[in-house]
């Protein structure tokens, strides 16, 4: 399949051009003593999908942080203007209670994004702490940790998350904590495998030989190598958390009304009449979820390629 000009999967002519460009750029970057993170950023910038994902994400974050300042009150009921189609006064129309849909979409974005980022960060933190200890300490703790990962991964987490949220309150904090409680295994196992691999490397052995204590070695030498993969995993967790929150709220088990999130907006639009005659009630929130998740996934892929170019050569 490596025939010149062949249609094989390995090296087509434009591929050769791309690869050699990348190699030259790498060599120049190495010569100019750029730090690894700067080089990663360089590679990230070259990735068009990742960059457009980043721009869209910045746009959505700005929209949901600044949007509520210019939009009307998302909870203001106006029974004189119910179910209005989009127009100058209400950019995306109004819902059954006469509330401004644009205002609800942007303030809903605030809640959905908060839940997405906060639960990804707390999930990563749980995984980081448990995974580092398990990988570095090894032994019984590690065995126990790996079995726990398997146990949690066997459960249908969506149902468990719903169970706990209905049991312990439908607030943003409780959703974030419950997601961290059930989503940590994949990030945790990633960190654990990293620290198992890294702790055998010479520089870690050297640090130990110089008498560095376990905690110091774990934090100073083992953790930094996990930062890259963990950033990627964390990015994808944000997307996942946004999807889970929207499913939760859509089913009516998430954030309680009247607070708007992208999921609750869709939940309130579940009727055949609305589906048929009032698309402004459900299409904007659905599209925002989709494009935000897509953008985050693009950024995650770009980060992975940027941080570990060798891994992306394979795929």
Partner 1 sequence: MGRYVLRRLLTSIPVVTGIMLLSFILVQSMPGDPLLMLIPPDLLQGAEGEAFLAAQRERFGLDDPLIVQFFRWVEELFQGNLGFSFHLGKPVTEILADRAGASLILMGGSMLVALVVAVPTGLVAALRRNRFFDYVASAIGMSVIAIPSFFTALAVIYIFGVKLRWLPPGGMGEEGIGDFLIHAIMPIGVLSAALFGPYMRYTRQSALEVLNEPYITAARARGTSRAIVVGKHTLKNAAIPIATVTVVQIPLLVGGAIVIEKMFAWPGTGLIVFNAITTRDFPVIIGFTLLVALIVVLSQLFLDLFIGWLDPRVRIEGAQ
Among 183, 250, 306, 307, binds partner 1 (CB under 8 A): 250
CB of 223 to partner 1, least distance (A): 27
Among 9, 32, 203, 210, binds partner 1 (CB under 8 A): 9
The first and second tokens of residue 166, run together, are 């209905």
Using CB under 8 A as the binding rule, whether residue 243 contacts partner 1 is answered as yes
CB of 240 to partner 1, least distance (A): 10
CB of 10 to partner 1, least distance (A): 8
The first and second tokens of residue 124, run together, are 């990563």
Q: Which is nearer to partner 1, 136 or 282 (CB)?
A: 282
Per-residue 3-state assignment (H helix, E strand, C coil) for the chain? CCCCCCCCCCCCHHHHHHHHHHHHHHHHHHHCCCCHHHHHHHHHHHCHHHHHHHHHHHHHHHHHHHHHHHCCCCCCCCCCCCCCCCCCCCCCCECCCCCEHHHHHHHHHHHHHHHHHHHHHHHHHHHHHHHHHHHHHCHHHHHHHHHHHHHHHHCCHHHHHHHHHHHHCCCHHHHHHHHHHHHHHHHHHHHHHHHHHHCCCHHHHHHHHCCCCHHHHHHHHHHHHHHHHHHHHHHHHHHHHHHHHHHHHHHCCCCCCCCCCHHHHHHCCCCHHHHHHCHHHCHHHHHHHHHHHHHHHHHHHHHHHHHCHHHHHHC
Per-residue contact track with partner 1, 151 to 170, x per CB under 8 A?
xxxxxxxxxx-xx--xx---
Among 291, 308, 309, 312, binds partner 1 (CB under 8 A): 291
Using CB under 8 A as the binding rule, whether residue 2 contacts partner 1 is answered as yes
The first and second tokens of residue 298, run together, are 């693009």
Using CB under 8 A as the binding rule, whether residue 253 contacts partner 1 is answered as yes
Q: Which is nearer to partner 1, 223 or 232 (CB)?
A: 232
Residue 258, preceding peptide bond in cis (omega within 30° of 0):
yes
Binding part of the chain for partner 1, among 72-80, 122-130, 173-181, 283-291 by CB under 8 A, reads 283-291
Using CB under 8 A as the binding rule, whether residue 298 contacts partner 1 is answered as yes
CB of 263 to partner 1, least distance (A): 8
Q: Judged by CB under 8 A, how many residues of this single chain contact partner 1?
A: 51
Using CB under 8 A as the binding rule, whether residue 272 contacts partner 1 is answered as yes
CB of 31 to partner 1, least distance (A): 28
Q: Which is nearer to partner 1, 189 or 221 (CB)?
A: 189
Identify the burial level of 261 via C-beta atoms within 10 angstroms of its C-beta, where 0-12 means exposed, 13-18 middle and 19 or more buried: buried
Among 101, 204, 239, 307, binds partner 1 (CB under 8 A): 239
Per-residue contact track with partner 1, 169 to 188, x per CB under 8 A?
--------------------
**Site of interaction with partner 1 (CB under 8 A):** 1-2, 7, 9-10, 12, 14-15, 147-148, 150-160, 162-163, 166-167, 239, 243, 246-247, 250-253, 266, 269-270, 272, 275-276, 279, 282, 286, 289-291, 293-294, 297-298, 314-315
């Amino acid at each position: 399949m490596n025939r010149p000009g062949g249609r094989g999967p390995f090296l087509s002519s434009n591929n050769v051009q791309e690869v050699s460009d990348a190699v030259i750029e790498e060599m120049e970057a190495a010569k100019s003593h750029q730090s690894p993170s700067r080089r990663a950023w360089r590679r990230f910038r070259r990735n068009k999908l990742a960059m457009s994902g980043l721009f869209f994400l910045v746009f959505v974050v700005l929209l949901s942080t600044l949007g509520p300042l210019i939009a009307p009150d998302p909870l203001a009921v106006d029974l004189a203007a119910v179910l209005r189609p989009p127009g100058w006064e209400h950019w995306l129309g109004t819902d059954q209670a006469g509330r401004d849909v644009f205002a609800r979409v942007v303030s809903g974005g605030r809640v959905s994004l908060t839940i997405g980022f906060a639960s990804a960060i707390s999930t990563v933190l749980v995984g980081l702490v448990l995974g580092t200890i398990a990988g570095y300490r090894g032994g019984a703790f590690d065995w126990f940790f790996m079995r726990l990962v398997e146990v949690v991964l066997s459960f249908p987490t969506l149902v468990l998350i719903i169970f706990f949220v209905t049991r312990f309150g439908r607030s943003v904090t409780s959703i974030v904590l419950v997601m961290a409680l059930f989503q940590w295994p994949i990030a945790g196992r990633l960190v654990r495998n990293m620290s198992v691999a890294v702790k055998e490397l010479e520089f870690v052995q050297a640090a130990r030989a110089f008498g560095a204590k376990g905690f110091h070695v774990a934090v100073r030498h083992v953790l930094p190598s996990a930062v890259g993969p963990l950033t990627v995993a964390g990015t994808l967790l944000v997307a996942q958390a946004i999807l889970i929150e929207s499913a939760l709220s859509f089913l009516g088990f998430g954030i309680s009304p009247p607070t708007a999130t992208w999921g609750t907006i869709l939940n309130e639009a579940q009727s055949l009449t609305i589906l048929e005659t009032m698309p402004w009630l459900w299409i904007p929130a659905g599209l925002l979820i989709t494009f935000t998740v897509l953008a985050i996934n693009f950024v995650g892929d770009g980060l992975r390629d940027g941080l570990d170019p060798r891994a992306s050569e394979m795929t």
